[in-house]
Structure 1
């Protein structure tokens, strides 16, 4: 009897139906684990997004009072910028008496960049040209040029403002930064910009890139809960002179492609007050031309690799996979491949419904970030609203950035 029962069990276990039941059981366990993981990461995401309702209003153009005259030195690092430099030079020219000097530090450009700077010097005596040889110290990116400019800046300037060549400063930018920094007692303050989009690929791709920062670091203006979560944007970054002196200038970022975050987080760790505010009303930026350049250049910084601990970097990679990379894929899989009879069985119903919630939150984020993009010149502006479909590709770019350290900046290899 016992032998017969064992034989029947053995025959049952070898049948295709039993194998399918075993497979379903294993699959169900993995689905439950996946759902639990997404629920926990999604809770973190929704908590971060909820902080956005209390974020400060965007900075507005301001006009400096007479006592602010000469308080700021602007540092403008350049390298082969002739195609995009003119709006930056024009925007700096219209800044008022609070700007004492504008130091353009050129790394021996091979185009007409120096000629453009010399033309600006002829119109505005606050402009000065400094030549910097990047081969002299092999600092990564613009840090060496910034350090050279800082060391040659006027000691009478109480503030140092770093501006990138791809920015379009609006009138009243510098005064608005000064007002915000003084009012909130910031030692270092940077702002987000409004991105100018033109070509279809970047209209579709760029918003998804920006969302990765919103998901990881929360709302603009929200104070970071630790120095390692501080956000910064080197396109427009203001720092007190004496603080920068205490920090050793830009030396902390000498080997960092993500130099702005490295400097800001170092300042926060030293106890200085660091702020990141909405500057979309006072500065615009034209970062990259087309999706290919967007993919390549964003990849240097999107992982924040050289300003993060390895555990933090990979925590962010996994987090973004759960809340941004997977939802479009999971919803697509359920729409195409899963039988309707399974859609309302657990854990399937929990998995697709929560990913639908994540996707709806992602679509709602498009309305929140829309003011940060100027699409008036875009050839296919409607692609902005389809950017959630780019999320899996953008997550792949974050993963590649985490795995492969950058080695090139503006054509120079390190």
Structure 2
């Protein structure tokens, strides 16, 4: 019990530090500027609205495109906007679906936003699949495109999204502006796992810290990344991250290292927002999505894996355990126990309460019942198992796998595949 008490006290101290510092990771108010209304009549930017090219890497996304591609082509952006979709060796007719949507929306007629569908070329050695598709999109972007907006094929953009992004980036002098898209929470597993996914991401990469030019932390969300073309070239181009499995954070790191200013925030739910339409029908689908890159994030290091498992156990699992042991003794009539039991119970309850309080803002952001915040330790246990499963897959030679591609090697950036 003395060991349990000591660990519970340590856990509570950790949570006090996390809640009071650590970039205030639990807050959900890092958003686009409220005065960047993105309305059709938005104020003209100094020098005019810059030309934008949206780049969409798409591999076997025929099902998603009818829900997302029209939202890109329907942007009310006041400047010139082109969409380049790279069909990344799809087997489901992704390119044909994209071209049909383009014809249906009247693109390519010399008016409005335009669509170009690029047939992806064979992937060179040393390049990750998505990153190679991004590179081909950059090559296909017209020379006059001052900004590139990388987005995924499962991401829908509100009609004012691009205008708000450009206004925010130019107003603040940013080189890279990224939004964490609002993910689906339509079924019970999505409602349980998705808010925690974003919460844990923010804990790993505190937005406020990543947005400080002097901080070492760099992060972006690959579903929506607006990037100044000159900044990309200064960072060495897409080739600088050619092997990255976790391409978004690697790109943000490269831009920041080269002197660029980056910014990451949460997307709004309104017409200027960005949301994912990809469904995750069951736990197995979410498990695959998370575990595919979890061990890559740990740089395939057994030491970092052990530290992560121990850290999750100490901060998320031990507090409710200590609290339940103490409360069970009180309920069953066994008494409060010795001093160590009381200390463990009180500290465990305190840590659990702080943990719960920090999770409430994310649940509110996702419009979920706040009382479910008490279940965060159970969700953390799921994430622990997913992380271990990711490591086991790597040790068995499967590595990170997605849409028929497997990645296992690690380069100097720690996140490349083969």
Asked if these proteins are the same fold (TM beyond 0.5), I'd say: yes
Tell me the distance in 2 between the aligned counterparts of 1:264 and 1:310. Answer: 26
The answer to whether residue 149 in structure 2 is matched with residue 157 in structure 1 is: no
The answer to whether residue 42 in structure 2 is matched with residue 90 in structure 1 is: no
The aligned counterpart of 1:244 is: 232
After superposition, the Cα gap between the structure-2 partners of 1:54 and 1:256, relative to the gap in structure 1 and judged at 3 Å, is closer
Conserved 8 A contact 2:56-2:151: yes
After superposition, the Cα gap between the structure-2 partners of 1:303 and 1:371, relative to the gap in structure 1 and judged at 3 Å, is farther
The aligned counterpart of 2:346 is: 353
The aligned counterpart of 2:38 is: 62
Deviation at residue 249 of structure 1 after TM alignment: 1.9
The aligned counterpart of 2:261 is: 273
SS at match of 2:226: strand
Kindly indicate which of the two structures has a greater share of residues assigned to helix. Answer: 1
Deviation at residue 309 of structure 1 after TM alignment: 8.9
Deviation at residue 262 of structure 1 after TM alignment: 1.0
Tell me the distance in 2 between the aligned counterparts of 1:131 and 1:278. Answer: 32
Tell me the distance in 1 between the aligned counterparts of 2:256 and 2:267. Answer: 21
The aligned counterpart of 1:124 is: 107
The aligned counterpart of 1:305 is: 297
The aligned counterpart of 2:154 is: 166
Deviation at residue 50 of structure 1 after TM alignment: 7.6
Deviation at residue 356 of structure 1 after TM alignment: 2.0
Q: Structure 1, residues 141-177: CA drift from partner, whole Å, max 9, x if none?
A: 4100001111221111111110111111001111111
The aligned counterpart of 2:406 is: 413
Deviation at residue 390 of structure 1 after TM alignment: 1.9
After superposition, the Cα gap between the structure-2 partners of 1:58 and 1:345, relative to the gap in structure 1 and judged at 3 Å, is farther
Tell me the distance in 1 between the aligned counterparts of 2:297 and 2:313. Answer: 17
The aligned counterpart of 1:104 is: 85
SS at match of 1:75: strand
The answer for unaligned runs of 5 or more in structure 2 is: 109-113, 408-418
The aligned counterpart of 1:393 is: 382
1:148 to 136, 142, 148: 136
Tell me the distance in 1 between the aligned counterparts of 2:362 and 2:180. Answer: 11
After superposition, the Cα gap between the structure-2 partners of 1:351 and 1:212, relative to the gap in structure 1 and judged at 3 Å, is farther
Mean CA deviation greater in 393-402 or 85-94: 393-402
After superposition, the Cα gap between the structure-2 partners of 1:174 and 1:225, relative to the gap in structure 1 and judged at 3 Å, is closer
Deviation at residue 342 of structure 1 after TM alignment: 6.1
Bigger Rg, structure 1 or 2: 1
Conserved 8 A contact 1:101-1:127: yes
SS at match of 1:347: helix
SS at match of 2:339: coil
Deviation at residue 275 of structure 1 after TM alignment: 0.9
Conserved 8 A contact 2:192-2:379: yes
Mean CA deviation greater in 116-125 or 383-392: 383-392
Deviation at residue 191 of structure 1 after TM alignment: 1.1
After superposition, the Cα gap between the structure-2 partners of 1:55 and 1:385, relative to the gap in structure 1 and judged at 3 Å, is closer
The aligned counterpart of 1:209 is: 197
Mean CA deviation greater in 73-82 or 134-143: 134-143
The answer to whether residue 362 in structure 2 is matched with residue 369 in structure 1 is: yes
Tell me the distance in 2 between the aligned counterparts of 1:119 and 1:210. Answer: 34
Deviation at residue 409 of structure 1 after TM alignment: 1.6
The answer for unaligned runs of 5 or more in structure 1 is: 1-26, 376-380
Conserved 8 A contact 1:55-1:221: no
SS at match of 1:271: coil
Tell me the distance in 1 between the aligned counterparts of 2:347 and 2:79. Answer: 52
After superposition, the Cα gap between the structure-2 partners of 1:325 and 1:35, relative to the gap in structure 1 and judged at 3 Å, is closer
The answer to whether residue 314 in structure 2 is matched with residue 322 in structure 1 is: yes
Tell me the distance in 2 between the aligned counterparts of 1:78 and 1:133. Answer: 13
SS at match of 1:142: helix
Mean CA deviation greater in 303-312 or 263-272: 303-312
Mean CA deviation greater in 234-243 or 42-51: 42-51
Runs (4 or more) in structure 1 with deviation over 6 Å come to 306-314
Deviation at residue 385 of structure 1 after TM alignment: 5.2
